[in-house]
Each structure stands twice: as C-alpha cells, then as structure tokens.
Structure 1
Amino acid sequence: MTTMNAQRFKRGMIAIASTAGLGLLAFGAAAQSPMDDLNSASVLDLPEQFRVFSEYDPNIRKPTAIVNGEIITRTDVDQRLALVLAANGDVQISEEELQRLRIQVLSNLIDETLQIQEAAANEIEITDAEVEQTLQRVSGNFASEDVNFADYLRQQGSSQRSIERQIEGELAWNRLLRRYVNPRINVSDAEVEAVRERLEASRGQTEYRIAEIYLSARPDNEAQVRANAEQILEQLRRGASFPAYARQYSEASTAAVGGDLGWVLPGQLPTELAQVLPQIPVGAVSPPIPVPGGFSIIAMVDQRQILSADPRNAVLSLKQITVNFPPGTTEADATPVVTQLAEASQSSGGCGAAEALAQSVGGTVVQNDSVQMRDLPPALQQAMVDLQIGQSSPPFGSIEDGVRVLVLCGRESGAPSQSLDPERIMASLQDSRSSRMARNYLRNLRRDAVIEYR
C-alpha cells in the first residue's frame, strides 16, 4: 500500500470513527488521575490470600462469540482486524500484540452488536440507503485512481460488508443517543457562569490537549511494566494508532475514549506529568513517565493559550505546486529536480509566479482559499506560521506521491480557540455530559447481555 493510499484510508476511517467518546469538555475539565482507579475493586471485599483453581489464558480463546443469540464469527473478527491493521499502514506488530489486538477487536464487535440490538429494540432502523451514503463518503476520502475501494479492502483481507456493519452500528447508536440520551441533558446557567469565570481567571495560560496510556506497576513487576511500556512506545513511534493502543493497553478510565484527557492545565495533573508537558512537541509521544503507581505515556495532541488568539486558527489562501515523478524514479534522479524546486520557490515572486515556476519544473498548481492552518500536518503548521505573504514552504512529500511546496497567498487572522459566549460554553458542557452518559449506557448494556464464547 502506498503512503498516500494509507493516508486516504485513515481519513476514510475517521469518517466512521466512534463518536461515543468525543465532545470532551474543551476548556480545561478536571483530568482524572490514574491514581483515582487503583482501589476500585475494594467494594468486592476480596481476600488478601487466595489461590487460583484453574488457569485461564484469554489469548487462546477462539475469537467467536454469541451476543444475545447473535453470532460473531471468526471471519467477522479477522476482517475487522484487517481494517485496523490497514489503518495503521506498514507498522509491524508482534504476534503477542496481534493476539491482544484481536481480543480488543472482538470486544469492539460485541459493543457494536449490543448497540445495534438496543437500537432495534427501540424501533430504530438504519436503511441500506443511509449506509450506502456514508460508505460513498468513506470511499470518496480514499479516492484512489489505481484501485477501487472494494478491491482494496479485499486485498487487505477485509470486505465492504465489514465497513457497512461498522457504519450501521455508528448510525444506529448515534440516533439512539439523540432520541433518548441527549434530551435528558440539562446544563444550568450557574454551571455556564462557573466555566466563564474559570476561563477568565486562566486567561493567557497554556493548556494542553493530551492523551494517555497508563500502566500500573508494583515494586515486584516495575521492570517488566517499564519494558512493556517501551515496547508500546516503539510501536507508536513507528506509526501505530495511539487511541487504539490506549483502548487496548491503558488501565486508566480514559481507555474507553482512546486515552483522551481533553484540554488540561498542568496544575490539574500529577506533578510528574505537569513537569514534562512543556517539553513535548505537538504531535509527539513522551517516553514512559514514572508516576505514583505505574507509568504514563503521554501524546501531545495540541496546545493553546486560553482566550488568546491562536495563529493556527488562521484561514490560509494557498497555491500548492506539485512535482510528480514516473514510477521507478530513484532518489538520485529526483534530487536535482527537488533542489531546483526549493531554490526557485524561494525566489519566484510569490503566488503570481507560481504557474510559471510549476511549468519550469514540470509541476502542477492547485489553489485553495480556505485552508485552516490547524488542519495542516504539525510540521507544516510551524512552517506556515513563520511565512510572510508570497513566501513558500520548504519542499515536502515523497518520490512516490510527489514533492510539493505551499505558496502563501493570504492569511485571515485566527480567533481564540475558546469563547466566553454562553451558548458555546453550554453546547460544550452538553457534549461532555452526553459522552459520559453514552459510556454509562453502553456499560449497562454489557452488564445485562448474555454472551457466550466459543
């Protein structure tokens, strides 16, 4: 799979990603410390001394289940697992991690089945036309010229039916929530005013959007847990999905939402984490950080200054010059062209000369007048922040997918990421509350389900 096809596939998968955990409070909701969950089993009154009467290894369980009478087959699991692996691109994972991921995929399929069943019990029906409409959007995001979407899925060991099932589950669950959960959400004027006051008091401070993977450890297994954390970090740095690994491995309550802690101030976190946040670049993942009771791996999703104008909210007018190379072109063959593109773009005379520059290097030009800076990859965001009108970014891309430069033609200043507008604050509070109630709803469905494993 080419890099570009992998990126397109990821964008397509985002279009049908689960929304049960989204909408977290976007203005500094208190983060839950991993320590909050360490004594959650105390209500079970377990004995301190006991022995296990038989061994049980979930990794050898056949990945087949019957959920309230509905069968999830091994083929279902294999095809959905293939989707996950395809979304991770060329990242290689060990057999042990593959087994763990397979079990997580089965768990996700069980949740999906429960959601569809609950929607049907409440007379919510998703039509084939609705599924097809979403599928067309996903395949449109994939938009590959050399292979169509259905053929690509088969090549990856999956099927169109597997994605259609996922789409059906998302649509059914979202409609169920809109009908029965969202109408029960109430946010008072006093709560809105409390958020406004907290924002005003924090004006200008830096807050961070982070995600976590927390692994608990004891003195007797600390070395092993650290080694496991290092293995997870290695996979993440090779391109594995942080939310997927958080759902699979994290022992914090945020695992259910892919490790997402939302926007937090350093003072809301344990000291060990607060000290390292300023050192983690946006888009990077930290090494395992020792914290009380274990280790945390932190992903820096974003950062901003509270109630301050954010340059990454700026809307850009851009011209993109792209040079494509014939199949089989070597790096040695491409280097002179890339060098010419780099030198010419820095002295070309801005947007008005972009077409002539493209012609001189055998490239093409595409113009877009409404690109939000924060939608660009992090490395390009920093480059564009520093550019003046008419200047160009350094060349970027690959020999396989084309080398490009962006010429900045215009910039509309970015507004603050947060707002003191009561309606926007109320909407964010409602989204956060809806997300929490949705997780509780699904937890209750799991608790009441009759599930057999074969």
Structure 2
Amino acid sequence: MIDQKKMTRVIASVLFCSFLFSSFPVQAEVLDTIIAVVEDDVILEHELQREVAAIEQRIQAAKAAMPPASVLRRQVLEKMIVDKLQRQLAERAGVNVTEEMLNSSAADIAQRNNMNLQEFRAELESQGISYKSFLDNMRNEIIINQLRGREIGGRIKVTDREVDHYLETQDKIGEQAVQYHLGHILIAVKEAASAAQIQKARSKAEVIVKNLRAGQDFTQSAISESNDANALKGGDLGWRTMGDIPTLFVDVVGKLAQGEVAEPIRSPSGFHIIKMLELKGLDAHMVTKTKVRHILIKTNELIDDAEAKKRLLALKARIADGDDFAALARAHSDDKGSALKGGSLDWVGPGDLVKPFEEAMGKLAVNEISEPVQTQFGWHLIQVLDRQNKDNSEEFKRNLVREAIRKRKIEEETELWLRRLRDEAFVEIYQDRL
C-alpha cells in the first residue's frame, strides 16, 4: 500500500515547483522529471544525470569497459535510492557533520596528497570537479559512515577464539616459508622422580627463564645448565619450519616474538625452555615501549591553566631538590588511578595515550622530566623511566587478523542491513523514464 500522507507531500512539492516555473515561461522547459520517489523525497533527472556522468568518468579513468547506458542508469539510481534512505535515517537519528569536521577532513585529504587546501581546491577544479560538489559528496560519506557505525559497528564483536581459528585454518598458506631459529634448554626429570624432585626441577627452570629474560646469555646458560644433547652447541636447534618443530613446542613457538623466552614446558623428560633466537620469512614489526609516570593537575573554577602550570613547576623544583616523584604523585596528582602507583602508567605503546602526551613523552630522554604539558585532561608533569624496542610481530599479526574478521563481519552485516532498509522503505521508480 502507498502511504497517502507521503504521496500528498510529494505531489504538493511537485505542484509547488510547477507553479513556480509556470510563473517564468522561459525556464519552464528545464523543469526536472521525477525519476523516483523515495519515502517523502524524490530523485530528479538532473541528479541522476550528474551521478551517471561522475561514474562514467571514473570508469573511463580506470580504463574499464563501459556498461550499456540503461544498465548504468539503473545501477546508479539504485545506489542513489539507498544513499537517500540512509541520509533520511541519519537525519531522524540526529547524525550530522559540522562545518569544522568537514573542513578538517578536506584538509586531511589535501595533506595526504601533499597539497594545502587551496592547492587541492584548485586541482579539483582543474579536473572539472567543483569544490562544493566535492564537499557535498564528502559530507554524505561521513554521515553514512557515522550512521553505519551506530547501527552496525557497535554490534560487531571478534573473539580470541575466532582469531585463533582463522590462524589455524586460513593462515597455513606460506607457513612453511616462515623459519624459526630456536634455542633449547632441558632441565631433565627422571621417570620415577618424586614430587619434591619434580618441583625442584620446575623451580630451577623458572629461575633460568627469569634470568634469561633479565638479559643473561642463552648460549652460556644452555652450556652450563641444559641436559639436552645440544647443550654444548649452546642449545641451538638451528633453523626449522613449523613442520620440523616437535609437536610439544608448536603452539608455544607460533606465539613467540623474536628474542622472547617462553615459560617452561613440561614433558615426561623434564622441563623445556625455548627461546626464539630469530625469525625468517615473516616481517618483524618493531614497536617502542615506554615506561612512564606522571603527575596530573586538573583545571577547574579555582585552578586555571596558569595556576596548574605553576603548581607543576613547583613540584618539578622539589624533585630536582631531591623529593621523590612517586611520593609527590601520590600526594598531588589528580589522576587517582596512577597516583596510587606513584604516578606510574607502566609500559605503554604507540597510540595508548593521547597525542600531546605521547609527543611530549617521545622527546624525553630516560629519567628526564618534562615541562608542564597540556592535554584534554589537564596539565601533566611527565617522566620517562625506561624504553624498549619490542618485536610485536605476533600481536601485530593477530590484530591484522582481528581487523580482517571484523571488516568481513561488517561487510556482511551492512549488506543485510541495507537490503532490509531498502525492502522496508516506500520507493516508486518511474520505469518509463529510465
């Protein structure tokens, strides 16, 4: 059934346009033809022609075969219908894009193309694309993306089990191209060993792992402590593919980053200690981890920016005179979570902290204390305690897989959501005008 109320609004709009143009006979011939009614809005012939022309330009630029004109018009019209439905839903949901957000996005695109905004605008216009048209299209894309984020994104979850399953079943291609250079130490346990003897061997293995992680040389440890046949080779098992690695170690090895030492692995022969000496065939993904602490002073009705900076500078002077940073953080920091730990934020990686904090932290030497730094949370005094370059390859790989699964789920859910949106909407296409 056609919604009479909607049709009344559409007809009234068309009649009003007809009345306006009837007042100007010279312009009457350019009155647009309605191609489709979409809920309480319409798609006009000139809008469809404009979109078709834009799509044709893209197809030509890609040097692809041009489909028949009638097919292209229908495809473009269907896209316009779905876009219009999404815009209508976004409007009802209060999704909007501010001019500031729009200009910022345009500036980002210009910067990615190594241009400022004025140069980018001139480049668009040299290609026959009006800047206003570009902004309108970008506004439309941003609104639709925000709408989809609200309607779909929040519902998509990817579990660790799904990531594991993907890696086990889909990531086998090329696995044999990855080679692992392993170090091995065995703390042997006799078959008839007592519980006390087993516990003694376990404790010994745990101490060795602790010492190795603290920097003790693996080769020396293997020579002096290992009961394995490769002990005199420094525990070196050589380069192996996953298929050449003992089944007992496979799950552990697959999760080790370069330089990492695994927890002791129990077997009937004793406790095995594995170190990933090197990786080959898998690009290493190194990240810098920073151990950092801070003192935060928030601004409020009583404390303005100047006062917050003054207090932090006074605390910095006290630290220079010998006062303990951690004690001052516990007593004065407005970040109560870290204040309990002496201001410690522990080890952080890229993207873990807000940009102004991260930028200031990155410029500090180990043990150096910053000048007051402002972020959205207030003013900070920052001290870097340590830095480490860590091979983050395994975590990076899992994150890529997680994102791939999430993207696939979003695509599948979006397709269903758009089909449902289209099916439930009132749309009338005037076939004779296509």
Task: Compute the TM-score of the two structures, normalised by the length of structure 1.
Answer: 0.35
**If you compute each CA radius of gyration, which structure gives the higher value, 1 or 2?**
2
Structure with higher RCO (Cα < 8 A, 6+ apart): 1
Task: Compute the TM-score of the two structures, normalised by the length of structure 2.
Answer: 0.36
